[in-house]
Amino acid sequence: MYRPDHSAHTGATAHRDDRVQFVVTGDETSLAELQSELALLPLCAKGRVFVEVPEPADVFPLQVPMRMTVTWLPRSVRGGRTGTGERCAPGQALRRAVGAWSAEMLCDGPGDTQAILTGDYRGVSGVYEVLAGRVGMTPENITAPERFGLRIEP
Q: Pairing between strand 67-74 and 114-117?
A: unpaired
Cα–Cα distance measured from residue 64 to residue 149, given in angstroms and rounded to the nearest whole number? 28
Cα–Cα distance measured from residue 130 to residue 102, given in angstroms and rounded to the nearest whole number? 8
What pLDDT digit, counting tens, does each position of 87-115 carry?
A: 899 999 999 999 999 999 998 999 999 99
Residue predicted with more confidence, 153 or 94:
94
**Burial grade of 60 (CB within 10 A; 0-12, 13-18, 19 or more):** exposed
Residue predicted with more confidence, 18 or 151:
151
Query: What's the fold here for domain 21-144?
Result: Rossmann fold (3.40.50)
DSSP 140: G
Q: What is the mean pLDDT of residues 57-65?
A: 96
Cα–Cα distance measured from residue 5 to residue 61, given in angstroms and rounded to the nearest whole number? 36
Q: Are 117 and 144 in contact (CB under 8 A)?
A: yes
Cα–Cα distance measured from residue 139 to residue 136, given in angstroms and rounded to the nearest whole number? 9
